[in-house]
Amino acid sequence: MSYETHEHDVLIIGAGGAGLRAAVEAASNNLSVGVVSKSLLGKAHTVMAEGGIAAAMANVDPKDSWQTHFCDTMKGGKFLNNWRMAQLHAQEAPDRIRELEDWGALFDRTPDGEILQRAFGGHTYKRLCHVGDRTGLEMIRTLQDKGVHSGIDVYMELTIFRLFKDGGKIAGAIGYWRKNGEFVVFKVKAIVLATGGGGKAYQITSNSWECTGDGHSLAYEAGAELIDMEFFQFHPTGMVWPPGVRGLLVTEGVRGEGGLLRNNKNERFMQRYDPQRMELSTRDMVSRSIYTEVKEGRGSPHGGVFLDISHLPAERVKKKLPSMYHQFKDLADVDITKEPMEVGPTAHYMMGGVRVDADTGASTISGLFACGEVSGGMHGANRLGGNSLSDLVVFGRRAGAGAAEYARKLAFFPTVDKNELEKAAKDMEAPFQRSGDEDPYQIHRELQESMQGLVGIFRTEGDLKKGISKIEELKQRAAKVAIKGKREYNPGWHLVGDLKSMLTVSEAVAKAALARKESRGAHSRLDYPNLDEKFGKLNVVVSQKNGEMNISTSPVPEMPEELKNLLAENK
Amino acid sequence: MPDVTFKVYRGDAKGGKAVEYAVPISPGMVVLDAIHYIQGYLSPDLAVRWNCKAAKCGSCSAEVNGKPALMCKSRLDSLPIDKPITVYPMKTFPLIKDLVCDVSWNFEVNKKIPPYQPIEKKPKIFQDDVDRVQEFRKCIECFLCQDVCHVLREHEKKAEFVGPRFFVRLAGLEMHPNDGADRSEFMKNTAGIGWCNITKCCTEVCPEEIHITDNAIIPLKERVADRFFDPVRWFFRKLFGTK
Ligand SMILES: Cc1cc2nc3c(=O)[nH]c(=O)nc-3n(C[C@H](O)[C@H](O)[C@H](O)COP(=O)(O)OP(=O)(O)OC[C@H]3O[C@@H](n4cnc5c(N)ncnc54)[C@H](O)[C@@H]3O)c2cc1C
Ligand code: SF4
Ligand code: SF4
Ligand code: FES
């Protein structure tokens, strides 16, 4: 078979904040750069980011510094973070934000005309640059326009489903156009994965349909290592009512602006769990606290707790949280300037991901790079709010540069093996040839239910084992799915591919969670409720060995003395 | 709760027809929930575009009971559910399949717009400057305004007229406190701002409540007029930043 074929020095898979920033960087090296995305340009999940982007600009709190941001990030991550990533992130985030403004972005201002910063959980100082609660939109539009005028080729509504190697090196990828179902082959020197997270494996999630862990799964199948997969962040405040919007995010900005959490006894229950930081405690802590309140019967009518911002002047609420105001008014008939919201935990962010080199974003496979939510290491056991948007631009830039440098040194394009190509195409078409009544939507619903119930906020060995065997069953059923209709824009067919990624990611999360016999950050084991020093020195590593998922551990990289001292001083 | 009947357009560029589906409803439900129900239980190949389900990404535009709207923001309790609810794709763009249109023309137009061009000596930016431009920058590119604008919808002027969405974008650039490009020529000749006769249909459908006509198009028209008929005034505007 012959397929539509394109050649690029660097192919970037994903057009969220990380992918676009990587594309701009790679293109600035005079290379041919392609960017693919499952949806239209500008619709990636990053567009939904609300609260802000963290950087120690010290505009509002002059005492802030990269050192404090570094310490906060490490503490939030329970010291499992890759220290070098946390350091680069803290040092470079302010420059990346100034750069966004140089490219036309506009953030809210302090009275003397500097970029305004707001408070967020786990950050010692007011640190989040923002534009109301539409920060992600501002970022993605800026990067999108910058990218379009940097000469990159954009392939919209094209889904990549397999990567190819030549010897040990990345050589290409195959995908399909949504609009006509036709296959497309990319021959490349380097690939940057920027595919975002995998929240759609859970029933209650803030994530969009695209977040199915494709990049995690593509990297895993190509033989790359994944780390920290057991850490899945449940954001404490998702909407709980009405049913159709369950899980939809309520930005931490609400608490940053002074929102209070109460139970049905009108108690500010965070007093019981973290009296010092209260509502601005870290996300793992607030999620567990809400979960516990609800479980012990002190929840709101629809199984959440109350989040109240109505004590602030209505005008201020509308100004600082405009999209929250509309979201509740339009979708839940709640006027947040007058009454409390009902909120509960929602699956939100994957700390785990492709293991990368901090400076270049290189994975453990030559020519394969990763940045943004699909990469692991930066956030350790728990991510602080606002640290993702900054992660996207800091490491998007670095991975773009890393891939460009790698591609420049490669004299020839590696070859994509014809047989492998044919096999990938055949596998993808197979559901049309099958008959039977296995349906991808039904399997997806069962996966979401199992992940929610068995691999959720609180975990036990028994539940995790049940979850793993359910995933095994679903994997076998997914291999028998039959699809009807044509290849043109067929969502059922599309879901077959997404499902495969979600199953891989779910298996990795569950198996890594089983391996970590302690509670740390976002990973809470009822059967091992305490921190265990031994595990505090280990990352859990997931990789494919002889077609099987292999779980191992590797030591957390050792920090240089000066950073150790910094943390000691900052206790 | 009772079932509601949805008449959803099924077909492609070659033609098609509306098909009826009975969908059980629940409190707070939106049209996109019904479409997902149909996909998940009745017809897995029903094509629809969506991402956020929170009115933030502008993907799920369609014509619900004949009105251009975001499906994820169209509450069933705001529609008469004793009659079938019709869901059709946007009419102004070529159909790919079912509810999904080919909106690529918009992305081509966007590429032609002279990009942000920072001035050399940047002034301090204050909140008022940000607020003024944010109205335009909050556009989620749903293209509903493009769908409803008669210049594009009935008169097929896609070659001569960029449509309201891109006047919003142009306004965002032109009123950016640090931008120094001159887009008057572009607005007059390529963007075809003269075609707009200020019927305000675009403003009415904008889910972000951007005052497309009053705050973007009319000021841009004035700018173009100044540039071509009152160059002195235009020059002063440029010089003193009353952009
Ligand atoms: C509602 C919400 C609010 C948030 N608010 C904040 C906040 O205020 N501050 C903060 O720091 N973080 C926030 N986050 C987290 C942050 O937005 C995300 O972690 C971040 O946007 C991820 O960006 P990304 O570039 O890695 O991936 P994404 O933006 O998810 O983009 C992924 C891209 O990859 C493409 N893709 C995926 N798979 C494939 C494939 N197989 N083939 C081709 N393309 C593919 C997609 O189409 C998409 O273009 C929020 C998250 C949510 C859900
Ligand atoms: S006001 Fe102008 S741009 Fe808006 S719909 Fe009418 S003609 Fe079109
Ligand atoms: S201006 Fe309004 S209607 Fe037009 S594309 Fe933007 S958000 Fe949609
Ligand atoms: S799905 Fe994003 S606007 Fe409707």
A329-381 pLDDT per residue, tens: 998 999 999 999 999 999 999 999 999 999 999 999 999 999 999 999 999 99
Q: In a 3-state reduction of DSSP, which class is residue A416?
A: coil
Question: Above 0.85 for ipTM, yes or no?
Answer: yes
pLDDT of residue A124 exceeding 90, the answer is yes
pLDDT of residue A307 exceeding 80, the answer is yes
| Mean pLDDT, range B119-129, rounded to an integer | 92
Smallest CA-to-CA distance from A139 within A111, A195, A99, A95 is with A99
Cβ–Cβ contact B180 with A under 8 A:
no
User: Residue of the nearest CA to atom 5 in ligand 2?
Assistant: B149
How confident is the model at residue B230, as a pLDDT?
A: 73
Per-residue pLDDT tens digits for A4-54: 999 999 999 999 999 999 999 999 989 999 999 999 999 999 999 988 999
Contact A244 B52 (CB under 8 A): no
How confident is the model at residue B234, as a pLDDT?
A: 66
Contact A32, A8 (CB under 8 A): yes
Phi/psi at B111 (5° precision): -65, -30
| A433: exposed, middle or buried (Cβ count in 10 Å: 0-12, 13-18, 19+) | exposed
Cβ–Cβ contact B168 with A under 8 A:
no
Smallest CA-to-CA distance from B133 within B28, B215, B230, B238 is with B215
Number of H helices, E strands in chain B: 10, 7
Over the Cα atoms of chain B, what is R_g? 21
| Mean pLDDT, range A88-113, rounded to an integer | 97
Distance from C-alpha of B148 to C-alpha of B202, rounded to nearest angstrom: 6
The atom number, within ligand 1, closest to the CA of B54 reads 1
* A33 or B232: which leads in pLDDT: A33
Distances (CA, A) of A210 to A16, A45, A228: 11, 8, 21
Beta bridge partners of B95: B101
Mean pLDDT, chain B, integer: 93
Smallest CA-to-CA distance from A309 within A357, A255, A267 is with A255
Beta bridge partners of A554: A539
* Residues whose CB falls within 8 Å of the CB of residue A501, separated by 6 or more in sequence, listed in order: A198, A212, A213, A214, A216, A217, A218
| Residue ranges lining ligand 3, Cβ < 6 Å | B 58, 139-145, 164-165, 168, 205-208, 210, 212
Distance from C-alpha of A99 to C-alpha of A267, rounded to nearest angstrom: 44
Smallest CA-to-CA distance from A11 within A130, A158, A168, A211 is with A158
Per-residue pLDDT tens digits for A502-516: 999 999 999 999 999
Cβ–Cβ contact B26 with A under 8 A:
yes
Distance from C-alpha of A200 to C-alpha of A196, rounded to nearest angstrom: 11
How confident is the model at residue B243, as a pLDDT?
A: 46
Chain center to CA of A552:
23
Q: To test ligand 3's pocket by mutation, which of B107, B142, B196, B213 has the most ligand atoms within 8 angstroms of CB?
A: B142
Distance from C-alpha of B234 to C-alpha of B110, rounded to nearest angstrom: 25
Taken as a whole, chain A contains a residue count of 571
pLDDT of residue B189 exceeding 70, the answer is yes
Q: What confidence tier does B229 reach under pLDDT thresholds 50, 70, 90?
A: confident
Per-residue pLDDT tens digits for A272-284: 999 999 999 988 9
The catalytic site residues of A sit at 235, 255
* Residues whose CB falls within 8 Å of the CB of residue B240, separated by 6 or more in sequence, listed in order: none
Q: To test ligand 2's pocket by mutation, which of B151, B168, B215, B220 has the most ligand atoms within 8 angstroms of CB?
A: B151
- Ligand 4 centre to CA of B89 (Å) is 14
pLDDT of residue B1 exceeding 80, the answer is no
Over the Cα atoms of chain A, what is R_g? 23
**Six token digits for residue A7:** 């050649």
* Residues whose CB falls within 8 Å of the CB of residue A319, separated by 6 or more in sequence, listed in order: A132
Contact A137 B176 (CB under 8 A): no
**Six token digits for residue A506:** 């779910």
**Six token digits for residue A87:** 């350091």
* Residues whose CB falls within 8 Å of the CB of residue A56, separated by 6 or more in sequence, listed in order: A64, A65, A66, A68, A69, A90, A93, A94, A125, A127
